[in-house]
Amino acid sequence: MLDLKYEFYINAKPEKVWEVFISPEGTKAIFFGCVLNSTFEIGSPYAYVGPGSEGDETVHVYGEVLAFEPNLKMSYTEHPGPSYRENHAELETRVTLTLDVVGNCTKLTLVNDQWPENHPSYESTQSSWPMILSNIKSYVETGETLDFGW
C-alpha cells in the first residue's frame, strides 16, 4: 500500500495551526466533536474521543505518541477504534504532521504511512484526509468549519 501524503498551505502562523491540533476547542471543530486525550509525552497513549456509536465517549482513533515538538511536528501510531474494527489492535499505521513556515503562511504536511497489507480502512482514509485537512485550513483561516452535509 502506498504512503498517503498531503500538503496544505494555511494563511496563519504555525502556532495558530498547532493550537487547533491539540486544544479541545480546535479538535472538536476539526475532528467532528472529538477531543484529543494525551499527555503528549513520547511513548504515551493518545485517543480521539467523542460522539459515536458507543455514545459521547466513543474512541475513534488511538495509538502512541512517537514525536511531539510544539509548533513543528507530531507523529503517532494510529489504530481504528474498537467499535470500527474487531481486529483494531492489529491495524496500525503511522501519522506524521509537520509545520513549516513559508513566507507568512504555514505549510502543513501530513504523511500517513506504514500501512499493513490489505488494511480495510486504507481507501476511506485516503479520501477522508483531504476533507479533514481542508476543514483545518478553513477553521484556522476563517474560524468556520466546512459543511460536508453530514
107, with CB counted inside 10 A (0-12, 13-18, 19+), is middle
Per-residue pLDDT for 150 more than 80? no
Q: If you average pLDDT over residues 117-140, what whole number do you get?
A: 94
Query: Do the beta carbons of residue 48 and residue 35 sit within 8 Å?
Result: yes
pLDDT digits (tens, 9 = 90+) for 24-40: 999 999 988 899 999 99
pLDDT digits (tens, 9 = 90+) for 65-109: 999 999 999 999 999 999 888 999 999 999 999 999 999 999 999
What domains sit in the chain, N to C, each tagged with a CATH number? 4-142 (3.30.530.20)
Q: If you average pLDDT over residues 13-34, what whole number do you get?
A: 94
The whole-model pTM stands at 0.93
Q: Band of the pLDDT at 130, cuts 50, 70, 90?
A: very high
CA distances from 146 to 24, 26, 50 (A): 18, 14, 19
Residue 116: left (phi > 0), alpha (psi -120 to 50), or beta? beta
What pLDDT does residue 113 have? 98
